[in-house]
Amino acid sequence: MFTKIGTITIGVSDQDKALDFYVHKLGFEKVDDQPMSETERWLEIALPGTQTHIMLGLRGQSGGNATGMTGFVLHTDNIEETCATLKARGVTLTQELTTQPWGKWAQFADLDNNEFGIWAPAW
């Protein structure tokens, strides 16, 4: 049967600007960059050492049309440090760090208002 979630897609308005944001502000690495058509390319990024990739597809094409909360949650061992680093790199938190019974939580948005959760254990 299935062995992993290989690739998920996020819609972006400009693949070059999105690539720069995800690599330089969030710490992702470019995994693949291949032409798909005259206007779009298959542009995959991933966190170092992970199996799941994100394809930065053009909104209205392979990236779909959705905006807002993606439902994707990025885990971290040190959420305070992660939030501070993101802010120092110019990333705006759309929900400041809070502690909930189920863990510590914050949210941020990319350049196209795709929102991601940031989670860490409450301990």
Instruction: Write out pLDDT tens, residues 61-92.
Output: 998 888 899 999 999 999 999 999 999 999 99
Q: What pLDDT does 116 receive? A: 96
C-beta atoms surrounding 13 within 10 Å: 13
Enumerate helices (H) and strands (E) in the chain, giving the number of each: 2, 8
Range list for CATH 3.10.180.10 in the chain: 1-64, 67-123
Q: What is the pLDDT of residues 16-46, one digit of tens each?
A: 999 999 999 999 999 999 999 999 999 999 9
Q: What pLDDT does 3 receive? A: 82
Identify whether the C-beta of residue 45 lies closer than 8 Å to the C-beta of residue 19. Answer: yes
Question: From 3.10.180.10, 3.40.640.10, 3.20.190.10, 3.40.50.720, which CATH number describes the 1-64 domain?
Answer: 3.10.180.10
The torsion angles phi and psi of 106, rounded to 5 degrees, stand at: -150, 170
> pTM here?
0.91
Q: What CATH number should be reported for the domain whose range is 67-123?
A: 3.10.180.10
Q: How is residue 120 written in tokens?
A: 């860490």
pLDDT at 1 over 90: no
